[in-house]
Every structure is written in C-alpha cells, then in structure tokens.
Amino acid sequence: MQTYQRMTVKNIINFANPKSFVASVIPAIFGILLSLKFGYSISLIRALALIFACVFFQASVNTINDYSDFVNGVDSIDDNLKEDDNVMFYNHIRPKSVDNLGWIFLGLGIGLGLLALDGINYASIVIGIIATLTVLFYSKGPFPISYLPIGELTSGLVMGGLIPLGVNATISGRLNPEILAYSLPFILGIALIMMSNNASDIEKDKRAKRYTLAVVMGREKIRILYKITVGLWIVSQLVLTYYLLGYLFLGINLILFMIKGKFLKNLIFASLLPEARIGQMMGIGMANVLINGTYLLCLALSFIGS
C-alpha cells in the first residue's frame, strides 16, 4: 500500500502557480478600468471579487492540468521543468487530493463570480459557464483541449478576451462585444504563452499522442507563426493605446519599448527548443508584464486629471 505525504501549504501554492496569475489578473483589471473609462461604476469589494474569481479559475485549470498530465504519464522529471512546476514528481502526493484541490479552486472562483453580480445578469452567467467548461475540458474528457491544435486559440480567447468581456458584462449588466477588440493584446499575449510552452514540448507531446498546434505544424513553422504573432501583438498594443488614449500614451509606450529593445528582440528570436524552455517561459511571462502591463498602466494613468 502506497504511503502519500500530506499536502502542504507550499504544495497548494505551487499547484495554483501564482507566477502565472499575470495572465488572469491583468485582463481582469483591464476589464474593470475599461468599464470605468466608458462611464460605468463598481465598488472596490465587487472589483476585488471579480479579480479573485479569475485568479481561482486559473488556479483550478493549473491544478487540474498538473493532475491530468501526471495520471496520463505526460510529464517526467527530465522535461526541463523547475521543481515548483512539477510538484507531483518531486512530492509524493495522492493524485486524488490534487484533483480535489482543483475542484475547490473552481468552486471558489464560481462563488466569487456570483458574489460580484449585481442581480441577474445573463451575459455574465453565460460567459462564466463557458469559462467553467473550458477549465473542465482543458485537460479532461474524451477530447481534452490541451491535446488538440486549438489550445493557443482557446487560452487566448478565454483568458485574454472573455475575462475582460465578462468583467465588463458584470459591471455594465450587458454584453459589449467591442470589449473583445480592445482586448486583442491580451488575447495574443496569452496565446503566445501557450505557443511557447507547446513549441518547447513538441517531442514530449508526440510521445503522449498530443496533437497540439506545434506538433501539427512542426518547430520551424510554429517558430515563424510565433514571430508573426509577437509582431501583431506589439502593433495591436500600440494601435489600441493610440485609439483609446491618444498620442501621449503612445509615446510613453514607444519609449518603454525602445528601452527594452534587446529584450523584445530576444523574445522574437526565441529558439523554442526544449532545453531553453525555462528561460523562454520566463521571457514570455515578462513580455506579458511589459507589453500588456504597459497597456494597462497607460489606461490607469489616463484617469489622472480626468
């Protein structure tokens, strides 16, 4: 009979993977600020509930994905993962406990999302249902999303697009599809996180019979698509900054991008090889902070004096 170690607070935090929360927190705050920009209002308590709802949804998908990869034999200690990214291999934890933790995170996310509602709001409820189904079927079910060549598109649209759209729907009480257009930098940035991850994992995913976009296209073609997407990401952020906020904030963006020119160049020419995986994942995470974080910062600064 196997003896499992007790799950610690550190294990729980590592399963949640807080360093990935930038992909949910920034779009959530963007949705709140954009709603305020368009004349809507929200209390601080409801705003915090929305942000933490998004965080717990992401913690859930992170945890369930780790559980599913482990029980399906996808990951190994040799996969160029840090210890806190490969918790189940470095810690002998009962798999069912990890699965249960994922469900607890999901329940907290749903609960906080419902608390943030100000009355019946069908648009927000529908978006919440889509988000819940995405969490459940990303790694589970007969055809997990993570095994198909739609992972990048799904992650980008749900986290980068539906989070701001859902936040705005909760605040405004209606569906405003134009929010998706303003959210394009988040959609592309988050899709690139998934693309970088999957491109680094081509060999491993082939062994696991995962047909990700990177596996289907091959490393050379996915590297070309990656470069094009990074370019579109930067251009879309600059165009939307100008459209929403004007020349002043466009200038601030351009100056920051020039200062970080070497970093952006290294990002564009990433090898996407498995041995460089850890550095590349850190790089694309930092790029989301720089590009999407600057977009968010400029939006926040636009309230000064208004």
Residue 128: band (very low, low, confident or very high) from pLDDT cuts 50, 70, 90: very high
Q: What is the pLDDT of residues 186-205, one digit of tens each?
A: 999 999 999 999 999 999 88
pLDDT at res. 140? 87
What are 70's two structure tokens?
A: 């482990």
Gap between the Cα atoms of 283 and 294, Å rounded? 16
Gap between the Cα atoms of 243 and 301, Å rounded? 15
Residue range 231-249: mean pLDDT, rounded: 96
Please, where are the H alpha helices in 17-144? 22-37, 44-71, 87-90, 95-116, 122-139
CB 284 within 8 A of CB 291: no
Gap between the Cα atoms of 55 and 29, Å rounded? 11
CB 241 within 8 A of CB 251: no
Residue range 229-242: mean pLDDT, rounded: 96
For residue 10, which phi and psi values (nearest 5 degrees)? -60, -40
pLDDT at res. 6? 86
CB 204 within 8 A of CB 277: no
Three-state DSSP class for residue 257:
helix
Average pLDDT, the chain: 91
In DSSP notation, 114-128 reads HHH-SS--HHHHHHH
Residue 305: band (very low, low, confident or very high) from pLDDT cuts 50, 70, 90: low
User: Residue 201, class by beta-carbon neighbours within 10 Å (0-12 exposed, 13-18 middle, 19+ buried)?
Assistant: buried
pLDDT at res. 4? 80
pLDDT at res. 182? 98
pLDDT at res. 85? 62
Q: What is the pLDDT of residues 104-120, one digit of tens each?
A: 999 999 999 999 998 87
**Percent residues over pLDDT 90 in the chain:** 74
Residue range 87-92: mean pLDDT, rounded: 74
Residue range 212-223: mean pLDDT, rounded: 95
Look at residue 39 and tell me whether its pLDDT is greater than 80: yes
- Which value, to the nearest 10 degrees, does the dihedral of the CA atoms of residues 193, 153, 173, 103 take? -70
Residue 178: band (very low, low, confident or very high) from pLDDT cuts 50, 70, 90: very high
pTM of the model: 0.91
